[in-house]
Amino acid sequence: MSIQSAKSEHKLAWVTGASAGIGRALALKLVREGYSVVVTARSHEKLVDLQHEAAGDGRITVLDGDVTDPKDMERVLAAIEYDHGHLSLVILNAGVAVPVRGDDLHREAFEKSFAVNLNGVVNCLLPAVAHMKAQGFGHIAIVSSVAGYGGLPTSAAYGASKAALINMAESLKFDLDRIGIRLQIICPGFVDTPGTARIRFPRPALVTSEQAADRIIAGLKSRRFEITFPRHFTYAVKLMRLLPYSLYFALIRRLTGVVTEAREAKKHAGSGEHRRQAV
């Protein structure tokens, strides 16, 4: 059952990572689409603020929890089943973007990225699939990223976790189709969120969280497996994967300003050496 075909009595959605950014915007849009929405994140206060904002449009239920804790996500799903019944739509959006530099590696950046972005999705996916399999229908959308298409500067942990989500969704689709669960993958380009604000290179084709939510809602109503936007940018990034690596790396360096940054660093290092020689 898709968002378009959901009957009014089955219009119940669960959105993770709903305290800010895309998740928050999606929760508000879904309420206006006639859904009752259960929102999950670690920040109870932000979820309550979201609940109050949506009060005039519809119903948002707060069930705060930590996606990195599988037992906690089983608890959330059990509470949804007990209090609300059939769950028709799940959007697994919770994620973190931790910048990683190859010349300053830290294990914690990888562990946190995989714990939230990959294992956090799995922790929610397992009880959601079990619930939907039992009821005989459902619609699940997993939020990945254009960073999952190929390597980008400072995205070694984030991009790897998002690439894993794409592969996982592609693999699961064969079996979930067979049991009546519709699966989609969402690969946004750059969205103006607190997480992407820390990216040091230019963010081309940047969209707001509200614009992203509008495009995701439209995509959920479509028959496409992948929801990606803005397409002129994300399709270009996909096509770049067909290039030889020498061209791919050169183009990414130019687009992200890595070449300029390297030249500036070399220039500063050279001027510092010149000053030391002068002394």
For residue 37, the domain's CATH number is 3.40.50.720
- Please give the backbone phi and psi of residue 157, each rounded to the nearest 5 degrees, phi first: -85, -50
Other beta carbons within 10 Å of 18: 31
User: Does 108 lie in the same domain as 225?
Assistant: yes
Residue 249's identity, in one-letter code, is F
User: Does 66 lie in the same domain as 50?
Assistant: yes
Rounded CA-CA distance 138/64 in Å is 22
| pLDDT for 106 | 97
Which residue of the set 82, 158, 235, 248 is catalytic?
158
User: Does 251 lie in the same domain as 200?
Assistant: no
Burial class (CB in 10 A: 0-12, 13-18, 19+), 154: buried
Check residue 118 and report its DSSP letter.
Answer: I
Range of the domain at 112: 8-242
Angle at 85 between CA 83 and CA 89, to 5 degrees: 115
| pLDDT for 7 | 56
| pLDDT for 271 | 52
User: Does 190 lie in the same domain as 229?
Assistant: yes
0.75 surpassed by pTM: yes
158: annotated active-site residue: yes
Total domains present in the chain:
2
10-residue mean pLDDT series, the chain (279 residues): 59 97 97 97 97 88 97 98 96 96 97 98 98 98 97 95 98 98 97 75 86 98 98 95 96 79 52 46
Sign of CA dihedral 153, 158, 163, 166: negative
Q: Are 18 and 47 in contact (CB under 8 A)?
A: yes
| pLDDT for 58 | 76
Strand partners, 14: 38, 90
Residue 55's identity, in one-letter code, is A
User: Does 277 lie in the same domain as 225?
Assistant: no
